[in-house]
């Protein structure tokens, strides 16, 4: 069983990572919309493992749910699970240790999402 100090450190790390992810997703959303690549929204998602945050993209020509693609960062203990989805169907993509997530990694995942959205 974890002691209180260990849980507090994990909580602090989790909050910091959520803040980092939210900031990077916000900048990416603005860049994507300003470039006219797609419409984008940041969404929070609650699951049994905790509160996740994601970015959803859809065409500027249609708002069909089937055409939407997205990515969700979902906490799982001291890791962050990443799921990508298309048309409401989520698929596990990867799992990162919290310490390994940084702006470069998050942006590379968003670039991959943009490629997926255009295919």
Contact 71, 113 (CB under 8 A): yes
**pLDDT band (50, 70, 90) for residue 63:** low
Residue 70 scores a pLDDT above 50: yes
Whole-number pLDDT of residue 13:
76
Whole-angstrom Cα distance, residue 22 to residue 89? 22
Give pLDDT tens digits for 75-105.
Answer: 888 889 999 988 878 899 999 998 899 999 9
Phi and psi torsions of 59, nearest 5°: -60, 150
Choose the weakest-confidence range: 44-48, 59-63, 91-95, 101-105: 59-63
φ/ψ bin of 88: left (φ > 0), alpha (ψ from -120 to 50), beta (otherwise): left
Q: Which domain holds residue 38?
A: 4-118
Q: Give how many domains the chain has, as a whole number.
A: 1
Q: Which residue has the higher pLDDT, 7 or 51?
A: 51
Position of tokens 């860049």? 31
pTM of the model: 0.83
């Amino acid at each position: 069983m974890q002691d209180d100090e260990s849980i507090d450190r994990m909580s602090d790390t989790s909050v910091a990572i959520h803040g980092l992810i939210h900031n990077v997703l916000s900048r990416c959303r603005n860049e994507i919309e300003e470039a006219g690549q797609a419409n984008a929204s940041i969404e929070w998602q609650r699951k049994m493992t905790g509160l996740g945050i994601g970015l959803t993209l859809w065409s500027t020509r249609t708002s069909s749910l089937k055409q939407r693609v997205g990515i969700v960062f979902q906490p799982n203990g001291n890791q962050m699970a990443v799921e990508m989805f298309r048309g409401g169907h989520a698929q596990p993509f990867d799992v990162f240790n919290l310490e390994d997530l940084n702006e470069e990694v998050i942006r590379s995942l968003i670039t991959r999402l943009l490629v997926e959205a255009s295919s």
